[in-house]
A and B are shown apart, each in its own frame.
Chain A
Amino acid sequence: MDNSAMDIDVLRIVCSVVLVAAFVFANATVMGYLERKLAGRFQRRLGPMEVGWHGILQMPVDGIKLLAKRMVVPQQAEGLVFRLAPVISLSPVLLPLIAIPFSPALQVVDMPAGLIFVLAIEAFGTIGVFLAGWSANNKYAMIGAMRSVAQNIAYEIPILLVALAVALKAGSFSLAEIVLSQAALWFVALQPFGFLIYLVAGLSECNRAPFDLPEAESELTAGYLTEYSGIGFSLFMIAEYTHMFTICCLATVLFLGGWHGPALPWPAYSSAIWFFMKAYGLMFVMVWVRWTFPRVRYDQLMKFAWKYLIPFALVNLLITALVVCI
């Protein structure tokens, strides 16, 4: 072992692993509760009210219940892949969080190609979903998996193209430098169409309504989740909420100026507070959209990606290049 390997700070690695892992579960708990509560409010009901004050303990109780339930593996399923699919789905979702700059001080590592890294790991989530749908050997699950893959690959391209436009503007692929270059003006002002395209495609990447065709309850019962019960189901839910959080964080970094914002009474925490407020504001918008808009039809969904989002994203990239050039 040479000298450069020795100066790796073991304590920092352990702390960041523990914090990120704890954050993944905390985020899923909080978002699960908020989603159910907000869904109730949007539909003029109260949401969970029974366990704890205003149902605040509902999600931990549900987690323990799901942990203590049997995970039924269907007879015809490919047993090993069926059991491994939740793990394959959940294990990569921790990775993007180490590249995201929550504040100038609160970032695990700043990679020179952080944007590419986050996008690449995000794309990995599709594999877990596809394995889940395929291995269950259930017709609903199979159709759900097919839809999920086709949808995710279609909506990945607009995300890549608008992210490229932002990288072109900032002149860097490092997420911290992209945030730093927005100190004067957030990129949402320079790239309003890019932001819109990103939001729509991001909703679709998370498989959330109105683009939740892979798990459309009315036609596919639960899509790729149909056969999952107990802990397998909850692992997929945790992965989905973390995925959502990463998409919102990336939107904050690319378009909403990251940690920039007016100074708060607590200067040391001001930037992190701004970042989390922006990211969770976007999450609120995602929940809001989910419970407000009806689901689209599948061919409309695919047509929308290929015929509108991708051409507009290409034009957006070209115009950005033109502006940067001038």
Chain B
Amino acid sequence: MAPGDRLVYTYIFVMLAAGIAVAGAPLIIARLIAPWRRPGTVSVQPYECGIQPRDFAWDSRYGIAYYLYALIFLAFEVDVLYLFPAVAAFDAGAGAPVLMLLGLFLAILSLALVYAWKKGSFEWTAPEFAMTAPPRQDAP
């Protein structure tokens, strides 16, 4: 590790420690000066506009679209990461062959996007589908 690198890492880790201290201190101060008594049963209920919550939010269901976005993101982000070294090496004697390679790489990269587009991952399911879903079995 070069001395310059060590200096940079020192700054990063000192700053990270300072960040944790700066963020943690107000929490501790608030704990000390804020009024402390046992909260009532109503104030510790999950906030759902006054309606008694039926079950845990962790059990609730959310759109499958989020999962698809995560998958496309994984495929895309890793590919973009490969572009960083390509860009770092680009200016050194770049010529037409290098440019064609970069173009080819970007073309292959965008195939993932084209595939997801064709599959309709960016279209959300029609709302009437959600409305005609069968009622839950455990409903009272």
Residues of A within 8 A of B (CB): 4-5, 7-8, 13, 16-17, 20-21, 24, 67-77, 83, 86-87, 89-95, 98, 108-109, 111, 116, 134, 136-143, 146, 149-150, 153-154, 156-157, 160-161, 164, 167-168, 171, 173, 221, 226-227, 230-232, 234-235, 299, 302-303, 306-307, 310-311, 314, 317-318, 321-322, 324-325
Contacts and interface: CB of A to CB of B under 8 A. Distances in A.
B130 interface: no
Contacts of B69: 150, 153-154, 302
A150 B66 contact: yes
B81 to A, nearest CB: 9
Given A94-B22, A306-B122, A8 B7 contact: yes
Contact of A67 (B6, B33, B39, B113): B33
Interface in B50-99: 53, 56-58, 60, 62, 65-66, 69-70, 72-73, 76-77, 80, 83-84, 87-88, 90-91, 94-96, 98-99
Nearest to B49: A221
A306 B113 contact: yes
Given A72-B43, A74-B46, A314-B106, A139 B60 contact: yes
A136 B46 contact: yes
A93 B91 CA distance: 32
Contact of A235 (B23, B57, B90, B106): B23
B7 to A, nearest CB: 6
Nearest to B91: A171
Given A91-B22, A95-B15, A68 B47 contact: no
B19 A143 contact: no
By size class, the interface of chain B is 35 or more
B22 A90 contact: yes
B99 A321 contact: yes
A248 to B, nearest CB: 20
Given A154-B73, A157-B76, A157-B80, A230 B15 contact: no
A93 B19 CA distance: 8
A17 B46 contact: no
Contacts of B80: 157, 160-161, 164
A67 B91 contact: no
Contact of A108 (B11, B44, B60, B106): B11
Given A86-B23, A139-B57, A157-B73, A91 B16 contact: yes
Nearest to B2: A4
Contacts of A91: 16, 19-20, 22-24
Given A68-B34, A94-B18, A299-B124, A109 B11 contact: yes
A91 B35 CA distance: 26
A258 to B, nearest CB: 20
A142 B45 contact: no
A88 B23 CA distance: 8
A76 B22 contact: no
Contact of B24 (A24, A87, A310, A317): A87
The 6 closest A-B pairs by CB, nearest first: A91-B19, A4-B3, A90-B23, A231-B30, A75-B44, A171-B91
A137 B43 contact: no
A310 to B, nearest CB: 6
B137 to A, nearest CB: 20
Contacts of A116: 84
B22 to A, nearest CB: 5
Contacts of A76: 46, 53, 56-57
19 contacts: A7-B3, A8-B6, A16-B15, A21-B18, A67-B33, A70-B34, A89-B23, A90-B22, A90-B23, A91-B23, A94-B18, A139-B48, A139-B53, A157-B73, A157-B80, A235-B23, A306-B113, A306-B122, A314-B106
A231 B27 CA distance: 6
